[in-house]
Amino acid sequence: MLGNPRRREPRCSAASRVRIALWATLLLAFAALLGGCTTNNPLSTLNPKGPAAHHIYDLLVTWLFWPAVVVFFAVEGLLLYAIFRFRGRPGDPLPAQLHGNTRLEVTWTLVPALILTVILAVTFRTQAVLATPPTGEFITVRVIGHQWWWEFQYPDLGVTTANEMHIPVGVPIQVELSSADVIHSYWVPYLAGKMDAIPGRINKMSLQADEAGVYSGQCSEFCGVQHAMMRMLLVAQPQGEFDAWVRNERSIPSFTAGVTPGATPGATAGVTPAAGAASESLVTRGAQVFANGACVTCHAIRGTAAQARVGPELTHVGSRRSIAANTLTNTPENMRRWLRNPQAVKPGNLMPNLNLSDQDVDALVAYLQSLK
| Contact indicator for 144, 153 with CB cutoff of 8 Å | yes
pLDDT, one tens digit for every residue, the chain (372 residues): 455 555 555 556 666 777 787 788 878 877 776 666 665 688 888 889 999 999 999 999 999 999 999 999 999 999 999 888 888 888 888 878 878 888 889 998 999 999 999 999 999 999 999 999 998 899 999 999 999 999 999 999 999 999 999 999 999 999 999 999 999 999 999 999 999 999 999 999 999 999 999 999 999 999 999 999 999 999 999 999 999 999 999 988 765 544 555 544 444 333 344 444 457 788 889 999 998 888 999 999 988 888 888 999 999 999 999 999 999 999 999 999 999 999 999 999 999 999 999 999 999 999 999 998
Distance CA 202, CA 155 (A): 15
How confident is the model at residue 88, as a pLDDT?
81
The three-state (H, E, C) secondary structure of the chain, written as one string: CCCCCCCCCCCCCHHHHHHHHHHHHHHHHHHHHHHCCCCCCCCCCCCCCCHHHHHHHHHHHHHHHHHHHHHHHHHHHHHHHHHHHCCCCCCCCCCCCCCCCHHHHHHHHHHHHHHHHHHHHHHHHHHHHHHCCCCCCCEEEEEEEECCEEEEEECCCCEEEECEEEEECCCCEEEEEEECCCCEEECCCCCCCCEEECECCCEEEEECCCCCEEEEEECCCCCCCCHHHCEEEEEEECHHHHHHHHHHHHCCCCCCCCCCCCCCCCCCCCCCCCCCCCCHHHHHHHHHHHHHCCHHHCCECCCCCCECCCCCCCCCHHHCCEECCCCEECCHHHHHHHHHCHHHHCCCCCCCCCCCCHHHHHHHHHHHHHCC
pLDDT of 12 reads 61
Q: List the domain boundaries for the chain.
A: 139-249, 280-370
For residue 271, what pLDDT is reported? 38
pLDDT at 349: 92
HSE (CB half, 13 Å, CA atoms) of 132?
A: 12
b or e along 329-353 (b: 16 or more beta carbons within 10 Å of the residue's beta carbon)?
A: ebeeebbbbbbbebeebbeebebee
Report the distance separating Cα 187 and Cα 305, nearest Å.
34
CB neighbour list of residue 261: distance below 8 Å, 6 or more residues apart: 291, 292, 296, 305
Q: Given this model, what pLDDT does residue 316 score?
A: 93
Rounded Cα gap, residues 198 and 180, in angstroms: 8
Contacts of 332 (CB under 8 A, 6+ apart): 365, 369
Q: Which pLDDT belongs to residue 266?
A: 42
pLDDT of residue 35: 64
The pLDDT, as a whole number, for residue 37 is 63
d(C-alpha 332, C-alpha 329), whole Å: 9
Question: What pTM was computed for the model?
Answer: 0.79
Fold of 280-370: Immunoglobulin-like (2.60.40)
265: closest CA among 159, 161, 366?
366
Rounded Cα distance, 229 and 346, in Å: 8
Give the pLDDT score at 13. 66
Q: Please, which residues have CB within 8 angstroms of residue 75's CB and are 6 or more apart in sequence? A: none
What architecture does CATH give domain 139-249?
Sandwich (2.60)
